[in-house]
Structure 1
Amino acid sequence: MSTSLNDTGTPQANAAAAPARHVTGGMALMLLAQLMFVLDTTIINVALPRIGAGLGFAPATLSWVVNGYALAFGGLLLLGGRLGDVLGRRRAFIIGVALFTLASLAGGLAPAPGWLIAARAVQGAGAALAAPAVLALLTVSAPDEAARRRALALFSAVGVGGGTLGLVLGGVLTEYGSWRWTMFVNVPIGVAVLVLTPRLALTPRLATAAPGSSGRFDVLGAITATGAATVTVWALLQAPERGWTSPSVLGGLVAGAVLLAALIMTERRVEHPLLRPALLRDRRRATGLIVSTLVFGGQMSIFFLVVQYLQRELDFTPLAAGLAFVPMTAGIFAMSRVTPRLVGRFGQTPLLIIGCLGLTASYAWLSAVGDIGGYSTAVLGPLLLNGIAAGLTFMPAASLILGGVAPADAGAASGLMQTSQQLGGAVGLAVIVSVYAAGAIPEAFLPGVRAAFLTAAGLTVLAVITVVALLAGRKAAPAA
């Protein structure tokens, strides 16, 4: 049997045979990289007080240690997804992971506030370049439909559960080491991913541009899409502190809307658009995007309010506060084993309705924390219910978004899905914090909590209404 070398130097015959032996390991490595990106959205949260004291942050700028990452990650995801389609997903993935790893090292060595904020922004840019390639790889490289559903379920579990794992890991590193290890921990993981990725059997097919994708790049679309997402996220991050009517917030939202309108006009006219309009015309994909946005927005109440309740009202240490989220994480990952089979049997619609109703119930339960007291009675049950419901919701939503996408648009669709999650999180956090602040009393935590959690419940009720209105009675979409 003759063999020839492909573009990675691997014999073509081996490249064709290897996936049967190594596809699971390849997907596991991609999921590990995605977990690293998601962990960094929360791993540093419990360390913020020590970071502020150690580097001399002003109170007004400390939040940008978190916001800098969120802004770059959310603002650049659409661009990162399309770059993977045009330039090659393996190339985009490797560059993104390398950038993320170097920025993590630089952040851990930061001597001053500006240095750390800049490192976090570069981390976000690296994650935005690599993360869409991860999801595109999982969806196009799975050997069959069942494997695609399992990969999507695990990706969704990583996306939701990784945030809670970040709180646990951040608590351990901060309590027993230094806040700097919340940055340094990414370095060995990133190096391992970079070393192993070129050897994966999955990567030869991803080394070049996606099939059907033109090498031409929509520069104007890239500018307007990145500008719209970045300005909108920036404005939403400012809203809780400055108020929704402040000039900077209103100006940012208006600018984001103008850039979004310019993007829509551009994408209808150019020959090779950054984001094909057809991706948004599909009813099922639109439903998945709306549900993803609303549910991620509601989840922000968990990370913002429950962490504070545990530490301020129940006197939990950072480590204990992180460990308190283990039941939620366990529920998410347990459901990731079951949900693919449920989607295959019942379709996405009933699971989305049940999952969103479960999330609604968990927020309503949490709204009574001031009345029913401690962790075991007020927090444990809602967190477990939330984890199970989230695990039941995100994989069906992801399968709606990615169902029927052509290989040439897999990266763009992946970036679109993750952008909806990032924007949903930013919108949800801004709204929930604003509602909480409206009822808050200085030096007291509980006033305003009930209204904030009920606001989160309202977001998931809207998700249920969306599913019923757009999908009820219609045939299920392909899973990936």
Structure 2
Amino acid sequence: MSDDRPAIESSTATCTVDSDKTAIAAHPTATLHEWPVLSTTRQVLLVLAMTLAMMLNIMQVQSVQLALPTIGKDLDIKTTDLQWLISSYSVAFGGLLLLFGRLADIYGPKKVFVGGMVWFVIWSIACGFAQNEVSIDFFRAMQGAALGAAIPSALGILGSSFPPGQRKTTAFAVFSAGAPLGGSVGAVLGGVLTEYAPDTWRSVFYVSAGIGALIGILAFLVVPKDPAKDESLTVDWIGGALITTAVTLLTFALAGGEGAPNGWKTPYIPTLLAVSILLFGAFWFYERHLERHTTSPPLMITSIWFKGRFAVVQLIGALGWSSFASYMFFCSLAFQDYMQLPPILATVRYLPCSVTGFFLNAIVAILASRVPAQFLIAVGALGTGLAPLLFAVQNYTDPYWQWQFPAMILSVFGADFIFACGILYVSQVAGPGHQALAGSIFNMSTQIGTAFGLAIDTIVQDRVTKREVEKLGLTYDPNARNTPLEAVHLGLNAAFYTSAGFAFLAALIAATCLFGIGKVGHREKPDKEPIDSDEKAPA
């Protein structure tokens, strides 16, 4: 049985299955991989646990998003500061992805995953007991750190548990479906609990803690035990500090631009942006030095960015998620700030996302081994771009089914197709021993894209809204809850147009730069049904 690492020629980027020897030659720190022998039932439960973790990650943004007005009123948080309940989570999550991905590759993804879920449960309960703005922002950051450990570990678990074949392709497709499902399920959960639960918004965190505990217990039972630690592998702590600080400062600056005292003109915002860029450069050159001139293993193998279309796929992932995340965010504002719907009526409008995500998950699992990834990624990006475009051109007095219903269906195309194909591709390029790290890089790219997209779209929305308010001879106050609805409408439209532009740019790059990338799925099937065991089957 061959391994799942491809030989990817830089001229064509054609994905083909290579042998262990070739893969190990390309990745000197790797060892011959042995696949765990698992029954079908255990494989299903394993994929379910990892997918639920991905869903839980996205839920932490969308469910809290719908509860923001209630939280702000209860804890006396200004409107411009409410974003930190989202941003504090994203900053910690994105900043620690790469470091935890490396730790999972070295110490074992199961240990890091289960530990991350335990940490998540603790701080989710703490969020439910928060009594002020400072405490809940800190607790949210701890939630982000927890899932920053679990998500790259989940990718490492999937990559090392399934040999090449249809089951591996399906496993990654199902896992990627957890993202759009988490967005829509989180919206429903947040709206229902905020509207009807006795503890209103606090119940959102208690339910999240319960889901996290279930995932942790399930993973402890069904995930194969970690292999013995390779004592030759070490953690590049300097590189980890550089990239963690760089991502944290970048995300903090992008998220905080609108919430700062003087907006983007606040002196520390451009300063933090400049420092983050310098740290990214320092990280790159330091890792390049370790890789080329020392025997110490780097945190990130820089040469991986020049293999096939690795860098292009990262860019497409960032652009696609900048559009999808912004679309979901501004839909919430459209439903609550402009249409002034109660949370429960806003949540039901997200239901088509869940249903569509389920079916797209099945489709991508089948098509990934039959259709070139270039086509799937381009179609996905186009779908995600059309969703905010429909919201921008709609007449809000028209029926839901005319504009918003098809928009909700189209929105998850990019989230499913881009994420699934992207994860499959970077896992193939990474080679043995680097599955979790490759997944971390891709997740970090989507996280940075999300922060960048939300920052740009928020700037556009704020500027247009302010212009329209001043046209009416009024003073614009972003904390006021009596902004004229027409100004709110035009500001939202501008944000939706900008969001669509990000996705269409991703589609254009996919159509022009991914030619020849090939199919990223596999159709090989095992010869017989495996028994349930942690024993390894040689690759």
TM-score normalised to the size of structure 1? 0.91
Q: Which amino acid aligns with 1:231?
A: L
Instruction: Tell me, in whole angstroms, the C-alpha distance in 2 between the residues paired with 1:395 and 1:188.
Output: 27
Summarize the Cα distance change of 1:128–1:79 in structure 2 as closer, same or farther, 3 Å threshold: same
**Where does residue 268 of structure 1 map in the other structure?**
288
**Where does residue 512 of structure 2 map in the other structure?**
469
Spell out, residue by residue over 1:224-250, the C-alpha distance to the aligned partner (whole angstroms, 9 max, x if none).
010111000001001233444442221
Instruction: Tell me, in whole angstroms, the C-alpha distance in 1 between the residues paired with 2:462 and 2:430.
Output: 42
**Given the alignment, which residue of 405, 422, 439 partners 2:430?**
405
Structure 1 window deviating more from structure 2 (386-395 vs 229-238): it is: 386-395
TM-score normalised to the size of structure 2? 0.81
Summarize the Cα distance change of 1:16–1:237 in structure 2 as closer, same or farther, 3 Å threshold: closer
**Where does residue 419 of structure 2 map in the other structure?**
394
**Where does residue 418 of structure 1 map in the other structure?**
443
Instruction: Tell me, in whole angstroms, the C-alpha distance in 2 between the residues paired with 1:247 and 1:411.
Output: 37
**Given the alignment, which residue of 181, 196, 212 partners 1:190?**
212
Q: Which amino acid aligns with 1:36?
A: L
Summarize the Cα distance change of 1:168–1:371 in structure 2 as closer, same or farther, 3 Å threshold: closer
Instruction: Tell me, in whole angstroms, the C-alpha distance in 2 between the residues paired with 1:455 and 1:277.
Output: 32
Q: Could you tell me whether the CA contact under 8 Å between 1:327 and 1:387 is conserved in 2?
A: no
**Where does residue 456 of structure 1 map in the other structure?**
499
Instruction: Tell me, in whole angstroms, the C-alpha distance in 2 between the residues paired with 1:310 and 1:346.
Output: 37
- What pairs with 1:68-83 in structure 2 (closer than 5 Å)? 68-83=88-103
Task: Determine which structure has more spread, i.e. the larger CA radius of gyration.
Answer: 2
Instruction: Tell me, in whole angstroms, the C-alpha distance in 2 between the residues paired with 1:16 and 1:394.
Output: 25
**Given the alignment, which residue of 333, 350, 366 partners 1:308?**
333
Q: Which amino acid aligns with 1:296?
A: W
- What pairs with 1:264-413 in structure 2 (closer than 5 Å)? 264-270=284-290, 271-370=296-395, 373-413=398-438
Instruction: Tell me, in whole angstroms, the C-alpha distance in 2 between the residues paired with 1:57 and 1:360.
Output: 33
Summarize the Cα distance change of 1:240–1:112 in structure 2 as closer, same or farther, 3 Å threshold: closer
Q: Which amino acid aligns with 1:458?
A: G
State the SS of the aligned residue for 1:315.
Answer: coil
Summarize the Cα distance change of 1:238–1:24 in structure 2 as closer, same or farther, 3 Å threshold: same
- What pairs with 1:21-420 in structure 2 (closer than 5 Å)? 21-177=41-197, 178-200=200-222, 202-204=223-225, 206=226, 208-209=228-229, 214-242=232-260, 243-270=263-290, 271-370=296-395, 373-420=398-445
State the SS of the aligned residue for 1:407.
Answer: coil
Instruction: Tell me, in whole angstroms, the C-alpha distance in 2 between the residues paired with 1:327 and 1:253.
Output: 38
State the SS of the aligned residue for 1:149.
Answer: helix
Is there any run of 5+ residues in structure 2 with no aligned partner, and where? 1-34, 291-295, 470-482, 524-539
Instruction: Tell me, in whole angstroms, the C-alpha distance in 2 between the residues paired with 1:301 and 1:272.
Output: 37
Instruction: Tell me, in whole angstroms, the C-alpha distance in 1 between the residues paired with 2:422 and 2:217.
Output: 33
Instruction: Tell me, in whole angstroms, the C-alpha distance in 2 between the residues paired with 1:403 and 1:479.
Output: 11
Quote how far apart the aligned CAs of 1:322 are: 1.2
Q: Which amino acid aligns with 2:144?
A: G
**Where does residue 427 of structure 1 map in the other structure?**
452
Structure 1 window deviating more from structure 2 (334-343 vs 387-396): it is: 387-396
Quote how far apart the aligned CAs of 1:18 are: 4.2
Structure number having the greater helix percentage: 1
Q: Could you tell me whether the CA contact under 8 Å between 1:85 and 1:411 is conserved in 2?
A: yes
Spell out, residue by residue over 1:298-339, the C-alpha distance to the aligned partner (whole angstroms, 9 max, x if none).
113322221121223333211111110111221122111011
- Indicate the percent of aligned positions where both proteins have the same amino acid: 27
Summarize the Cα distance change of 1:457–1:136 in structure 2 as closer, same or farther, 3 Å threshold: same
**Where does residue 25 of structure 2 map in the other structure?**
none
Structure 1 window deviating more from structure 2 (409-418 vs 157-166): it is: 157-166
**Where does residue 12 of structure 1 map in the other structure?**
none
Summarize the Cα distance change of 1:331–1:222 in structure 2 as closer, same or farther, 3 Å threshold: same
Report how many aligned residue pairs link the two structures.
462
Q: Which amino acid aligns with 1:466?
A: I
Quote how far apart the aligned CAs of 1:192 are: 2.5
User: Which is bigger in relative contact order (C-alpha 8 A, separation at least 6)?
Assistant: 2
Quote how far apart the aligned CAs of 1:470 are: 2.0
State the SS of the aligned residue for 2:386.
Answer: helix
Q: Could you tell me whether the CA contact under 8 Å between 1:360 and 1:461 is conserved in 2?
A: yes
Is there any run of 5+ residues in structure 1 with no aligned partner, and where? 1-14
Instruction: Tell me, in whole angstroms, the C-alpha distance in 1 between the residues paired with 2:268 and 2:398.
Output: 39
Instruction: Tell me, in whole angstroms, the C-alpha distance in 2 between the residues paired with 1:363 and 1:381.
Output: 11
Q: Could you tell me whether the CA contact under 8 Å between 1:174 and 1:182 is conserved in 2?
A: yes
Q: Could you tell me whether the CA contact under 8 Å between 1:328 and 1:388 is conserved in 2?
A: no
Q: Which amino acid aligns with 1:219?
A: W
Q: Could you tell me whether the CA contact under 8 Å between 1:347 and 1:476 is conserved in 2?
A: yes
Instruction: Tell me, in whole angstroms, the C-alpha distance in 2 between the residues paired with 1:21 and 1:383.
Output: 33
State the SS of the aligned residue for 1:344.
Answer: coil
Summarize the Cα distance change of 1:362–1:194 in structure 2 as closer, same or farther, 3 Å threshold: closer
Summarize the Cα distance change of 1:240–1:55 in structure 2 as closer, same or farther, 3 Å threshold: closer
State the SS of the aligned residue for 2:98.
Answer: helix
Spell out, residue by residue over 1:172-212, the C-alpha distance to the aligned partner (whole angstroms, 9 max, x if none).
11111111011111222222233333322x321x3544x7x
Summarize the Cα distance change of 1:255–1:16 in structure 2 as closer, same or farther, 3 Å threshold: closer
Summarize the Cα distance change of 1:165–1:252 in structure 2 as closer, same or farther, 3 Å threshold: same
Q: Could you tell me whether the CA contact under 8 Å between 1:372 and 1:378 is conserved in 2?
A: no
